[in-house]
Amino acid sequence: MKKYPRKLLLSFVHLLIFLSCVGTEARTQTPQQIAKKAFRSTVLLVMEDAEGQPLSFGSGFFIGDGQIATNFHVVEGAASGHAKLVGKEAKFNIEGWTAIDAQRDLIILKVPTFGPEVISLGNSDLTEVGETVYAVGNPRGLEGTFSDGIISSIRLLESGKLIQITAPISSGSSGGPVLNQKGEAIGVSVLSVRDGQNLNFAIPSNYLKNLLTKVGRAKPLFQAPALTEDPTMHLPAKITTPIDRRTMALIPAGEFRMGSNNTDAKAYEKPVHTVYVDAFYMDTHEVTNADYKKFVDANPEWQKYRTPLALHNGKYLKYWNGNNYPMGKANHPVVYVSWYAALAYAEWAGKRLPTETEWEKAARGGLRGKKYPWGDSIDSNHANFGNKIKGTIAVGSYPANGYGLYDMVGNVWEWCLDEYDADFYLVSPPRNPLSGAPSVKWLLLNYIVVKSDRSRVLRGGSWLYSTQAMRVANRFWNTSAGSTSDLGFRCVKTVPP
């Protein structure tokens, strides 16, 4: 065997070590390097309606010469728009779209060629839980946000995979790249559940790779097909909220037929009308005594003898002994709570009360035109009603509806946000209607000053009422300060666009 000089061997070893280090550096980059390159490839998307007015903000990134990847929901309904590189002045009109995957909420847009850097697509099938990732986008139209986190889960759904990350995604960052430590895009930011615990999601890059193989000639934005599937379909079917530790079920976005024209329907349940409701999460069970005790312990101003009389009718928590609920009823729904108290609990938990429309959509459980959450007949195996048990029963004692919600009818009436208006169905807007306030946001900011004698909607019937009140289309009401032995609530959480 030929022998080499010791000095030459040492030089060879040093060379191998050097090449190994260079190779490692080429594979991984510092966050500063990744951010610098990402900002040269990420764009702010400003979409406009047919009148040229701003419709939405979003993010996107270059994946080819003149090709920008983003979410379909960012551009849905737009007639025109422009792309602007982060930190640059020039704006480039969007010529159209070249490929769409509505099921995955992905679209590829065409802009004039002007030579920006391209973000390469990594193999999303190789991603692992615990891996460091970086999200780049333009929250609420503010250019250039770079945040880090880890992959907290790989969601395996019927429709495929979804990457759950801890790096925050804000409204306006949808469509931006999610990068690995090599600076490769392993996902496309899609949405975040407001106030959720690490509920930020990205569409795996391999779906985008597949879409790239289908790129064709650019077509005008207005020729884009309607979104065939709500992007929130990729969200977890259930979540647990961090403050009150309660389970919530996803109610998907979409249209439903609200109201009833049946012979037993009241005038204020007519006419039946089609309403579109954005996606939201709803508590699977009514708020219990044990849940409510956590709230009053954390918020002394809402304890039994400290709450101002202006916010209830004098019967607030009537059966409680100070801060303790009745013995043996920890899992019974809390009762004798006013509309104000229900909203205060919801605010503390990072939630809100449902609108009347949200409540009915959720109660129907995906069924169309049925009287009850499960069909057209009712008996004691379905719900607690008709004063047969002489009071409330533990939540979840009966089967859930199609959305996984328990006791949507019976047990206790449930508060809704809306002010009761018998004629509201005659003028109800077709999307996310709310009566008695200019917006949900306004009401949540000002509910304490709402007059206590104003009637608020109640839904669902109770243990005391007959089958007529159990119908999902039935509407009832009480004053904002009202509280009775069969009146409780459950909460919802908005899913942001």
pLDDT bucket at 25, cuts 50 / 70 / 90: very low
More confident residue, 432 or 169: 432
* 219, 250: one domain: no
* 275, 164: one domain: no
Q: In sequence order, what are the beta bridge partners of 333?
A: 288
Cβ neighbours of residue 203 closer than 8 Å, sequence gap 6 or more: 71, 104, 105, 106, 162, 163, 187, 188, 190, 234
What DSSP designation does 435 have? S
Cα–Cα dist 367/402, whole Å:
8
* 80, 149: one domain: yes
pLDDT (0 to 100) of residue 231: 53
Cα–Cα dist 134/148, whole Å:
4
Whether 89 is covered by a domain: the verdict is yes
Q: Which contiguous run of DSSP H or E holds residue 204?
A: strand 200-204
Reported as half-sphere exposure (CB side, CA atoms, 13 A), residue 233 has a value of 16
pLDDT (0 to 100) of residue 2: 41
**Of the ranges 153-162, 263-272, 333-342, the best mean pLDDT one:** 333-342
231, 246, 279 - which closes a domain: 231
What is the CA 265 to chain-centroid distance, rounded? 33
pLDDT bucket at 158, cuts 50 / 70 / 90: low
Asked whether the predicted pLDDT for residue 124 surpasses 90, the reply is yes
Asked whether the predicted pLDDT for residue 226 surpasses 90, the reply is no
Mean pLDDT value of segment 43-48: 90
Asked whether the predicted pLDDT for residue 24 surpasses 50, the reply is no
Spell 430-459 as b/e; 16+ CB within 10 A means b: eebbbbbbeebeebeeebeebebeebbbbb
Whether 373 is covered by a domain: the verdict is yes
145: containing domain:
27-231
Residue whose C-alpha is closest to residue 282's, from 391, 424, 401, 444: 401
112-116, 225-229, 241-245: lowest mean pLDDT where? 225-229
Residue identified by tokens 């990847």 is: 69
Asked whether the predicted pLDDT for residue 249 surpasses 50, the reply is yes
- Contact indicator for 484, 182 with CB cutoff of 8 Å: no
Whether 460 is covered by a domain: the verdict is yes
**What radius of gyration, in Å, describes the C-alpha atoms of the chain?**
27
Residue identified by tokens 């289309």 is: 473
* 149, 169: one domain: yes
Read off the CATH number of the domain in which 153 is found. Answer: 2.40.10.120
pLDDT bucket at 339, cuts 50 / 70 / 90: very high
How many structural domains compose the chain?
A: 2
Ranges assigned E (strand) in 209-314: 238-240, 247-251, 254-258, 273-277, 280-283
- Contact indicator for 189, 170 with CB cutoff of 8 Å: no
Cβ neighbours of residue 124 closer than 8 Å, sequence gap 6 or more: 161, 163, 186, 187, 204, 205, 206, 207
What DSSP designation does 90 have? -
Read off the CATH number of the domain in which 461 is found. Answer: 3.90.1580.10
- Contact indicator for 334, 244 with CB cutoff of 8 Å: no
* 327, 218: one domain: no
3-state SS class at 108: strand
Asked whether the predicted pLDDT for residue 294 surpasses 90, the reply is yes
Cα–Cα dist 336/329, whole Å:
14
54-58, 217-221, 372-376, 407-411: lowest mean pLDDT where? 54-58
pTM for this entry: 0.58
pLDDT (0 to 100) of residue 302: 98
Asked whether the predicted pLDDT for residue 341 surpasses 70, the reply is yes
Q: pLDDT over 90 for what percent of the chain?
A: 67
